Structure 1
Amino acid sequence: PIVNGGVFGETVLRNCKNVDEAMQFIEQYDLSSLGDMQFLFADAEGNSMALCPGTDGKMKVVSKAGVYQVTTNFNLLQRNQGYPCWRYNTASEMLSYIKSEDHLTVEYFLEVVRATCNQGTTYSTIYDPVHRTAYFYNKQNFEDVAVFDLKEELEKGNHSYDAFRLFPKKAAEEPEESESPGEVTEPEEPQPVTKGTSPGSLSGFLFAISAVALIILVALVYRKMKKVKEEVH
């Protein structure tokens, strides 16, 4: 069957609990209706993959190489269109500084978001797939944040939010850098990933994000980091 491009991400979320299941699921569909769309899928087990059109126009999977995966507004399989991309390079460099699970903090990922934000950024979201928590920022306002416990939100059933009503009414600050990357910094001393909540750790949650603006996701969990440490030693 031909997949409905408008609800493709939601369809995957409803039917798959991890990246492996997502790979098997999409093989059942004709993805030609997705056109030039690009997706990034990741789960709490530390796996991720990008889905983007190849030179033949057919959707193909780009699996994660290493401990993180980055995608911005250019096609990973057709780098002659939109690459080099300073946002992609900045994010990749900053994520390369992560050497320990202690550096996987909302605070550091917020620095990545700040460094790659531009005037066209409508919103930014940081996902913690292990604790199922989402941090939502409006435009260039990084002082105010709406925090969602996804377990609690799912228990509420079908509902929606007006994003603009989640934040105080005030002029959004323009980003310091809009055409070139800012200073790339290494992670500072880690802070707790979640504040004020203690969401239950639930197995296998899958995130799907369309590459409309910046997409950064690092899905690292203890067993993945331990595996890397063992290989290093």
Structure 2
Amino acid sequence: MWSDGRDSVFANNEDSPIGDESVFTFVPASAAGYGYFYMTFPYLAEPFMAGYPQGGLNEKGLAYDITATPLVNQVEVVIPADTPYSGGNIMELVLKKAATVDEAVALIKKYRASENIRRAAGVSEFRQMQALLADSKGNAAVVGVGPDGELAVTEKAGKFRVVTNFSLAQPGNSAVTEKARYDTATEALKGMKKAPVSAMRSLLAAVHVEGMASTLYSTIYDLRSLDITIYNFHDYEYAKKLDLKTELAKGAHSIPLAELFRDRPLFALRSMKEMAASVRSLQEKYLQGQKELDACPKTAK
């Protein structure tokens, strides 16, 4: 995220295992709250994260995205018994109800967890994730679990804020120690006097990842104009541009990422999906073989 107080830009690479299918969903304003859009992976095998809003933007120019932050020594988020339930997903609630970073942080601290996760497991998703929040006024902050189990807030210092997959609240306890992407992005943003789409695109390209887990899509939001720029599978030469106001005026609807980029088939994406499917098939066969082997009667020597 970068802002000079006049322009505010939010950029994200979504890195995930090959085969995860992304869907962009638009929800118009109503008596319940602001209009907004968010991205999900509806078909994830992990039950709590299937359909979890990975990031999004609302009509007030509030944006967020989350990063996984596994810890070496797990710290659970403290949820006092009198903490109210959120009534739904906590990050979608942020998009629906918050216009500023301060309002978003207050909501997260109030509820501490999405209701379905808390009721099912008694924990908060912030135990292993952090959320970068930014608004049209240029404010930004990162929310994650601190070493004491309380939700810690890391404010923006200067014009920008960078997050990757190590915990800003607990860097010494983070299972992810790689900081090359963080350092690369930080150095690039330090020198920026303006942050047009072209500059942010170059930055996203510099820190994208490839392999069985790849950058599946990238987004750039102008938090003032509400323009959305989307790139598919780290193909930074071809973008789709959406206007949030125009999309919300169409009513509630969802757009699969594959449909949005149907006119730009990518050989690399197709071949990586085929490879990922083959690897998963081999893994499943191996695990099934292990189960059958374990079930066989053991012969005494």
Please, what TM-score do these two structures have when normalized by structure 1?
A: 0.68
Q: Secondary structure of the residue that 1:141 maps to in structure 2?
A: coil
Q: Tell whether 2:206 aligns with 1:112.
A: no
Q: Which runs of 5+ in 2 are unaligned?
A: 1-83, 114-122, 270-301
Once superposed, which parts of structure 1, at least 4 consecutive aligned residues long, lie more than 6 Å away?
none
Partner of 1:33: 124
From 71, 75, 88, give the equivalent of 2:182.
88
Greater relative CO (CA pairs within 8 A, separation 6+): 1
Q: Tell whether 2:160 aligns with 1:68.
A: yes
Following superposition, the deviation at residue 136 of structure 1 comes to 0.9
Partner of 2:289: none
Q: Are the aligned partners of 1:141 and 1:172 in contact in 2 as well (CA < 8 Å)?
A: no
Partner of 2:227: 133
From 160, 171, 195, give the equivalent of 2:267.
171
Q: How many residues align?
A: 169
Following superposition, the deviation at residue 10 of structure 1 comes to 1.2
Please, what TM-score do these two structures have when normalized by structure 2?
A: 0.53
- Mapped to 2, the partners of 1:171 and 1:134 lie a distance apart of 25
From 23, 28, 45, give the equivalent of 2:105.
23
From 89, 94, 97, give the equivalent of 1:12.
94
Q: Which runs of 5+ in 1 are unaligned?
A: 174-233
Partner of 2:217: 123
Q: Secondary structure of the residue that 1:71 maps to in structure 2?
A: coil
Q: Are the aligned partners of 2:105 and 2:143 in contact in 1 as well (CA < 8 Å)?
A: no
Following superposition, the deviation at residue 117 of structure 1 comes to 0.5
Partner of 1:51: 143
- Mapped to 2, the partners of 1:45 and 1:172 lie a distance apart of 39
Q: Are the aligned partners of 2:227 and 2:243 in contact in 1 as well (CA < 8 Å)?
A: yes
- Mapped to 2, the partners of 1:163 and 1:131 lie a distance apart of 22
Q: Secondary structure of the residue that 2:215 maps to in structure 1?
A: coil
Following superposition, the deviation at residue 145 of structure 1 comes to 1.0
Partner of 2:26: none
Q: Are the aligned partners of 2:141 and 2:156 in contact in 1 as well (CA < 8 Å)?
A: yes
Give the CA RMSD over aligned residues.
1.8
Percentage identity across aligned positions? 37
- Mapped to 1, the partners of 2:148 and 2:85 lie a distance apart of 18
Following superposition, the deviation at residue 84 of structure 1 comes to 4.3
- Mapped to 1, the partners of 2:199 and 2:241 lie a distance apart of 16
Q: Secondary structure of the residue that 1:121 maps to in structure 2?
A: strand
**Which of the pair has more CA radius of gyration?**
2
Q: Secondary structure of the residue that 1:38 maps to in structure 2?
A: strand
Following superposition, the deviation at residue 83 of structure 1 comes to 3.1
Partner of 2:15: none
Tell me which amino acid in the other structure corresponds to 2:128: D
